[in-house]
Amino acid sequence: MSARVIVDTSIWIEYFNKPDSREKGEVDSLLEEDCVFLTGIILAELLQGTRSQQEFDILRSSLSALPFCETSFNIWVEAGHIASALRKKGVTLPLSDCTIAALALENDCAIYTLDSHFARIEKIRLYEPSASGP
């Protein structure tokens, strides 16, 4: 495994809705390399967007094959710390994204996202697609 990458909801949306997108190709490459990690928040965000029980069940089953980053007490503490530190700088981010950041730090993962605000979180590594893939 060459990298550990949490694929954010914004990328998964492109992946599922735009089969010709760069994001789809990049996630497919990451999946082939067994680099993709899932979090509970991202799972829940994706499942809430399904349009039928069948779509829900298929998505749940497919995503259950990915390594899962568990949200422990310490992760919640770190998410609160990240949110607090940012607020002191005048920046407010969704707690869900602070939690994803805490999980990325704890599990040594980069975050693949279209949301620019992750770059405002110290120590976060953002996954940058290259022309040649992961």
Instruction: For residue 92, tell me if it sits in a domain.
Output: no
Within 8 A by CB and 6+ apart from 72, the residues are: none
Q: What is the CATH number of the domain that holds 64?
A: 3.40.50.1010
Q: d(Cα 109, Cα 107) in Å, to the nearest integer?
A: 5
Q: d(Cα 30, Cα 41) in Å, to the nearest integer?
A: 20
Q: Does 134 score more than 70 pLDDT?
A: no
What's the pLDDT score for residue 83?
97
Domain that holds residue 66: 5-70+107-120
> Model's pTM, two decimal places?
0.92
Of 110, 92, 128, 106, give the one whose Cα is nearest residue 3.
Answer: 110
Three-state secondary structure call for residue 49: coil
Q: Which residues pair with 124 in a beta bridge?
A: none
Q: Does 8 score more than 70 pLDDT?
A: yes
What's the pLDDT score for residue 1?
47
Instruction: For residue 130, tell me if it sits in a domain.
Output: no
What is the CB neighbour count within 10 angstroms for residue 82? 24
- The model's confidence at residue 2, banded by pLDDT at 50, 70 and 90, is low
Cα angle at 70 between 18 and 129, to 5 degrees? 35
pLDDT in tens, 75-118: 999 999 999 999 999 999 999 999 999 999 999 999 999 999 99
What's the pLDDT score for residue 86?
97
What's the pLDDT score for residue 130?
76
- Encoding tokens for residue 46? 């994706």
Number of compact structural domains in the chain = 1
pLDDT in tens, 24-82: 999 999 999 999 999 999 999 999 999 999 999 999 999 999 999 999 999 999 999 99
Instruction: For residue 126, tell me if it sits in a domain.
Output: no
What is the CB neighbour count within 10 angstroms for residue 79? 22
Instruction: For residue 61, tell me if it sits in a domain.
Output: yes
